[in-house]
Amino acid sequence: MGAFSTFANRLPDPVYGVDGAGQNANATANYGPGFKTVSFTRKQPSMQSRTNSGRVVSRAIVGETLSVNITYNPLTRAEFEPVYSFLTEKRGRLKPFFVSLPQYADAQDVNYSGTITVDGTFVAGQDNFLADHSSLTGTPKRGDTFTITDGANSNHTKLYTVTRIQDNSDYYSGLSQPSSTQYRIYCSPNLIYSVADNSVLNFVAPLIRVIQTKDTQEYSLGVNNLYTFSLSLEEAQP
């Protein structure tokens, strides 16, 4: 396929292939196997204290952490080796990579297509921002997940979840009214970085930056010559 300049850094899956040289090669022979199950855990640590009068005071103490456990159906060697060799190259917890989860492959709105961008500049810590949907068909919904492609900050890889979405006719009066081409999107967690104007929101197959949770990779081979394999991952910000 010729020379290439970047090694693929996404776990092979049914819509993303990695060839033997290490580059992205979306051909059937290079696609990875699908997942049997995906277990997703969101940890949002907080600290509570109780006053003598019984009042409870709570505050967040650290950022959100996502954990993902993936199991595969029994795999042939041809299915197993591309995945296992990809993970072996990551040397356990040493090297991060990206994974796409099937439950977030598409936005909930079946008509979703086009582009939605941040409208304005918003600072780290905010739990909402305005987005320009003038080039979008369909609507993001509560529970949709997204990442942000920010030309000013390539380290902004956090996966966010929409908790509320407001438009020109249904909005909180304590903030400015969105225009006819804007949504106000509330997200969890709060923005971990400031976000530049015109940054793109990725609602279709957003990629999660992860590392393996341990330095050993284990599998078993059955008498039917099929491999049994699973992996445990956690989100890893740069």
C-beta pairs of 211-216 under 8 Å, 24+ apart in sequence: 211/90, 211/93, 211/94, 211/95, 211/96, 211/97, 211/236, 212/87, 212/90, 212/92, 212/93, 213/67, 213/93, 214/92, 214/93, 215/91, 215/92, 215/93, 215/94, 216/92
DSSP state of 87: H
Q: Which residue in 168, 185, 175 sits closest to 131, CA to CA?
A: 185
Give the per-residue pLDDT at 184: 98
Kindly state whether residues 198 and 110 are assigned to the same domain. Answer: yes
Give the domain extent around 174: 106-202
Do 47 and 117 belong together in one domain? no
> Consecutive sets of 10 residues in the chain, 238 residues long: mean pLDDT of each?
86 91 80 94 87 85 88 95 94 96 95 97 96 97 97 92 97 96 97 96 96 93 94 93
Domain presence at residue 23: no
> Can you give the pLDDT at residue 1?
63
Which pLDDT does position 4 carry in this prediction? 87
Q: For residues 182 and 127, is the Cβ–Cβ distance under 8 A?
A: no
Closest CA to 207 of 68, 88, 91: 68
Considering the domain architecture, whether residues 94 and 121 belong to the same structural domain is answered as no
Any idea which residue has 């709105």 for tokens? 109
Whether residue 10 lies inside any domain: the answer is no
Answer yes or no: is 12 within a domain: no
The number of distinct structural domains making up the chain is: 2
First to last CA, the chain: 31
Nearest CA to 29 out of 88, 82, 89 is that of 82
Q: Which of 230, 236, 237, 226 is nearest to 74 (CA)?
A: 226
83 and 115 together in one domain = no
Query: Residue 51: its pLDDT value, please?
Result: 86
Widest CA span of the chain, in angstroms? Answer: 72
121 occurs within a structural domain: yes
The CATH number given to whatever domain includes residue 223 is 3.30.200.190
Are 98 and 212 in a shared domain? yes
Q: Clarify whether residues 99 and 112 are in a common domain.
A: no
Domain co-membership, 155 together with 90: no
Q: Are residues 212 and 150 in the same domain?
A: no
